[in-house]
Amino acid sequence: MERTVDAVVEAVAEAAPDIRGGLIGRRSYRDSANASGERQLAADVYADQLLEERLGGIDGVGEYASEERQEIVDVGEGLSVAVDPLDGSSNLKSNNAMGTILAVYDDDLPAAGETLVAAAFVLYGPITSMTVAREGVVTEYELVDGEMQLTEDAVELPADPVVYGFGGRVPDWPDDFESYARDVERELKLRYGGAMIADVNQALEYGGVFAYPALESAPNGKLRLQFEGNPIGYIVECAGGASSDGSQSLLEVEPTGDIHQRVPLHVGNESLIERLEASLD
């Protein structure tokens, strides 16, 4: 299993320069929508196909699933990988940060977060970095031509939180979330860029809280459990923080059987997530 996880993580690192390079010329929308009904950019489809080819070919990988396709692909026997090939791809038009998210489950998909054996994200910022969580430890690398160069070997959320970022339109927030947000606004400073990976990385780096909450118009929020909620919850918890769907850890959320299940997502310093859960009670 260890070897397969190594191979999967390395394959994502090696794919990152190709995904980044492939953004050029792929900023236009296609006629198709993804499985969640969102418009797909040519870059979303390109990144998905590339990852399916590379991850699906690894010995010890049994299933491949992606936010960009309807069905789970059976690729052999072993661990299941779920990816968001280009998180925050609507930022491509405005040339802002985006990411790639990886979840490796030791179970068939859709799987519970508690069966994760590794999770990682690539952040395409001014530098391409990769943050990997395994066995309770979070490690950060810079990717240079797809090679992982260690920059931090035990990433921990700073104890004193500084930043917050909350998605969704304010009038669409339930009242209890809005009153929590008003408190947080008085204490922390806003950092919201519209790509979850980049926004979560602000909280990892400076301490704080990121949420894409339940909305009046979408009681399960916007983000997806298998591709976003579980891996991000796992990474933040391994870095000493907490995650929540509003009442429990994201890793405890029961999969419904829908690979594209959505979940309200809140991650950050433990004290801020405890206060959130108390507010939503």
Instruction: Give the range of 1-9, 24-32, 182-190, 192-200 binding ligand F6P by CB under 6 A.
Output: 192-200
Cβ nearer to ligand F6P, comparing 47 with 117: 47
Instruction: Give the range of 4-12, 27-35, 83-91, 107-115 binding ligand F6P by CB under 6 A.
Output: 83-91
Q: Residues 85, 167, 213, 246: which binds ligand F6P (CB under 6 A)?
A: 167
- 3-state secondary structure string across the chain: CHHHHHHHHHHHHHHHHHHHHCCCCCCCEEEEECCCCCEEEHHHHHHHHHHHHHHHCCCCEEEEEECCCCCCEECCCCEEEEEEEEECHHHHCCCCCEEEEEEEECCCCCCCHHHEEEEEEEEECCCEEEEEEECCEEEEEEEECCEEEEEECCCCCCCCCCEEEECCCHHHCCHHHHHHHHHHHHHCEECCCCCHHHHHHHHHHHCEEEEECCCCCCCCCCCEHHHHHHHHHHHHHHCCCEEECCCCCHHHCCCCCCCCCECCEEEECHHHHHHHHHHHC
Q: Residues 72, 104, 132, 196: which binds ligand F6P (CB under 6 A)?
A: 196
Scan residues 202-221 and list those touching ligand F6P (CB under 6 A).
Answer: 212
Q: Residues 195, 203, 259, 276: which binds ligand F6P (CB under 6 A)?
A: 195
State the nearest-atom distance from the C-beta of 196 to ligand F6P, in Å: 4
- Does the protein bind ligand F6P through residue 82 (CB under 6 A)? no
- Does the protein bind ligand F6P through residue 88 (CB under 6 A)? yes
State the nearest-atom distance from the C-beta of 57 to ligand F6P, in Å: 26
Cβ nearer to ligand F6P, comparing 79 with 250: 250
Cβ nearer to ligand F6P, comparing 52 with 68: 68
Q: Residues 194, 240, 249, 252: which binds ligand F6P (CB under 6 A)?
A: 194
Catalog residues that contact ligand F6P under the rule CB under 6 A.
Answer: 87-88, 90, 167, 194-196, 212, 222-223
